[in-house]
């Protein structure tokens, strides 16, 4: 299964790279800014074809195709392009994200940015890796010296609680914050120590499943925004190097 996952991520990454900056159809989903491209669908088809060839009886949940249900203890969670808005605007901060769940537990995951060549991978209980080199989270333990990253839901204007107000809570403490446009990369960059923490609202399982495993295997912590147990099927996430996690919760709940 590891081999299948790695192959699928690499092959999908080739599709992203080959079509980057080209002429392809772009359309919107339920909100104008929530884009989908022909390349999302090409990438997704390649991933699903590879998985089905090796494991035809496995359940698949993918961003564009939805749920391809099977009576199986295994479920693949697929985001064929995480950061589609970036991709559609020729910004190379985008990736393929694939995870495998067994009986409700994420057991392997990969996040691949073909433009930087960075391949993040984790297997449950075996650590997290960037291009075969083991990674660990940052050792910074003070929030005021941290670098954070976040994202905003497509429906920010009507989303409750107000994501901009949450952003402002950190900003008013003079904490630097970045926005990459890809939750999967946000999690992986926290896993390898580039960020100390990440939070976001209204995400889906395919956005966070692989990155969640990579971060926790790198020594990080993931909960909901109140510090409760995290589920990839929840709609909010707070992720950190563990050392600033409680401090972030205090700001979020202030």
Domain boundaries defined on the chain: 2-134, 143-252
Q: Is 84 a catalytic residue?
A: yes
Q: Please report which residue ranges of the chain form alpha helices under DSSP H.
A: 2-19, 38-54, 84-88, 163-171, 183-191, 205-217, 245-252
DSSP per-residue codes, 46-74: HHHHHHHHH-TTSEEEETTTEEE--S-SE
Catalytic site residue from 84, 94, 166, 190: 84
Catalytic site residue from 47, 78, 81, 107: 81
d(CA 210, CA 4): 15
Residue 82 host element (H or E): strand 74-82
Q: Is 107 a catalytic residue?
A: no
Q: Is 150 a catalytic residue?
A: no
Which pLDDT tens digit goes with each residue over 196-241?
999 999 899 999 999 999 999 999 999 999 999 999 999 899 999 9
The confidence score (pLDDT) of residue 32 equals 52
Residue spans of the chain under pLDDT 70 = 27-35, 154-159
Catalytic site residue from 40, 44, 63, 101: 63
The confidence score (pLDDT) of residue 23 equals 78
d(CA 229, CA 16): 34
Backbone angles phi, psi at 2, to 5 degrees: -60, -45
Q: Is 190 a catalytic residue?
A: no
The confidence score (pLDDT) of residue 20 equals 92
CA dihedral 165, 171, 175, 178 (to 10 degrees): 80
State the CATH class of domain 143-252: alpha beta
List for the chain the helix, strand, coil content (%; round to 5). 30, 25, 40
Equal fold, 2-134 vs 143-252: no
Tell me, rounded to whole angstroms, the distance of Cα 58 from its chain centroid: 22
CATH, domain 2-134, list 3.90.550.10, 3.30.540.10, 3.40.50.720, 2.120.10.80: 3.30.540.10
Residue count of the chain: 254
The confidence score (pLDDT) of residue 157 equals 63
Q: Is 82 a catalytic residue?
A: yes
**Residue 209 carries which DSSP code?**
H
The confidence score (pLDDT) of residue 95 equals 97
Number of Cβ within 10 Å of residue 2's Cβ equals: 12
d(CA 185, CA 207): 10
**Residue 98 carries which DSSP code?**
E
d(CA 248, CA 224): 11
d(CA 253, CA 226): 7
The two tokens of residue 137 are 């989270």
Q: Is 118 a catalytic residue?
A: no
């Amino acid at each position: 299964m590891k081999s299948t996952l790695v192959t699928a991520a690499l092959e999908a990454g080739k599709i992203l790279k080959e079509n980057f900056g080209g002429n392809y159809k772009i359309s919107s989903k339920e909100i104008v800014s929530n884009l989908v491209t022909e390349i999302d669908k090409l990438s997704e088809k390649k991933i699903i074809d590879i998985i089905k060839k090796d494991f035809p009886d496995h359940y698949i949940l993918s961003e564009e195709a939805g749920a391809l249900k099977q009576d199986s203890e295994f479920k693949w969670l697929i985001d064929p392009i995480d950061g589609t808005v970036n991709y559609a605007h020729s910004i190379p901060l985008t990736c393929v994200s694939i995870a495998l769940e067994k009986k409700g537990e994420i057991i392997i995951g990969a996040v691949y940015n073909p433009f930087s060549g960075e391949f993040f991978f984790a297997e449950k209980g075996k650590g997290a890796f960037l291009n075969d080199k083991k990674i660990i989270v940052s050792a910074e333990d003070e929030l005021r010296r941290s670098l954070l990253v976040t994202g905003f839901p497509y429906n920010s204007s009507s989303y409750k609680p107000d994501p901009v107000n949450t952003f402002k809570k950190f900003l008013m403490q003079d904490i630097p914050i970045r926005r990459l446009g890809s939750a999967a990369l946000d999690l992986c960059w926290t896993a390898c120590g580039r960020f100390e923490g990440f939070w976001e609202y209204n995400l889906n399982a395919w956005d966070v499943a692989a990155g969640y495993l990579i971060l926790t295997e790198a020594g990080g912590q993931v909960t909901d925004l109140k510090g409760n147990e995290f589920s990839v099927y929840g709609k909010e996430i707070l992720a950190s190097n563990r050392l600033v996690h409680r401090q972030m919760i205090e700001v979020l709940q202030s």
